[in-house]
Amino acid sequence: MTDRDYPVQLVQPDGRRVHGARYAEVVADVDAQRLRALYEDMVVVRRVDTEATALQRQGQLGIWAPCLGQEAAQVGSAHALAADDYVFTSYREHGVAYCRGVDPAQWPRLWRGVALSCWDPNELALTNPAIVVGAQGLHATGYAIGAHLDGAEIATVAYFGDGATSQGDLAEALGFASSYHAGVVFFCQNNQWAISEPVTLQSPVPLAQRATGYGIPSARVDGNDVLAVLAVTRTAAARAREGSGPSFVEALTCRLGPHTTSDDPTRYRGAADLAPWQARDPIDRVRRLLDREDAWDDTLDTRVRAKADEVAAAFRAGALALADPDPMTLFDHVYTGPHPLLEEERGRYADYLRTLEEVPS
């Protein structure tokens, strides 16, 4: 049996440890205190996700891509990374962003539509959300090749969903990473639905097997088991840092909410599709593990809930404090220097805005 045949699992949905499990030694250092920290981060991420969805429904955000149900995949993998590892995300990695230290007040800027980015990528070694599906795989591969040429012993991580595995950009990234021995961890969150299409329509075999054709070692992991995700990602990241090349991780999870707040998931899936995954809730699983190992109490519960409310409140305050930008800033930072076509477009847009001002109210 290989890592591609059966997903790595260290904790069962009822909170029991899997005895003799592969990768268990990789997270042997995770004591009760660190397990509580993982639990806290997952609860905070879910609370912020709920707050952001509410803000969008209230007209305060333009759109939001919920990560409900994927907290273990994101928090577990983020905890496996070093501060100088460079992370390339898609548009759903809110858990990764939180674990990398994104200021909650900065988070809403892109989603409110007042800026082209939320934070300085080099400050956190974390890119801003990538809207073009799969493009971040190429960005991560190029960065990893450059980092290797500079002698940096880091891992570069590309996060993407199952839908992105059908994109040509990702296929090219896998090919380049394999050929150039790039230190990339391709982290696929297989959340079962590429917008409205189930993953079974995209591939008749596990997605991790796609990496095999490129000569890239792969592993499937229970994406709702935070310890298993932590262990598998640690292993892949260590391989990248030591110069052993790329890895592919398929984290099996489920997007319990809509693709974005513009989506109506009831049109393509029913309650029966979600019920098995709701029973495997990643946060409930860690709580049950803590309870079984006498590491859970009401004090922890109260503290974690308070922390989650605090971060969500900061997110909301940050969103509501954002002023609408000057329309002409649309042309700022498009190119590194002046460009004649851009200047022409800037002039035309300025003329258009002036005609609006002349229209009687």
Active site residues: 255, 259, 268
Q: Distance (Å, rounded) from C-alpha 113 to C-alpha 131?
A: 13
Task: Pick left, alpha or beta for residue 313 (phi over 0 → left; psi -120 to 50 → alpha; otherwise beta).
Answer: alpha
Strand arrangement, sheet containing 184-190: 86-88, 156-161, 184-190, 247-252, 218-222
Q: Distance (Å, rounded) from C-alpha 269 to C-alpha 266?
A: 5
| Complete DSSP assignment for 54-121 | HHHHTTSSS-----TT-HHHHHHHHTTS-TTSEEE--S--HHHHHHTT--TTTTTHHHHTS-S-SS-H
The owner of tokens 């110069």 is: 243
CB 162 within 8 A of CB 220: no
| Residue 242 vs residues 78, 156, 183: alpha-carbon distances, Å | 19, 12, 8
CA-based nearest residue to 318, from 63, 128, 118, 106: 106
The owner of tokens 């199952």 is: 162
CA-based nearest residue to 75, from 95, 48, 101: 95
b/e code 127-147 from CB counts within 10 Å (16+ = b): bbbbeebbbbbbbbbbbbbeb
CA-based nearest residue to 214, from 189, 253, 245: 245
Q: Which residues contact 242 (CB under 8 A, 6 or more apart)?
A: 153
Phi, psi of 315 (to 5 degrees): -60, -50
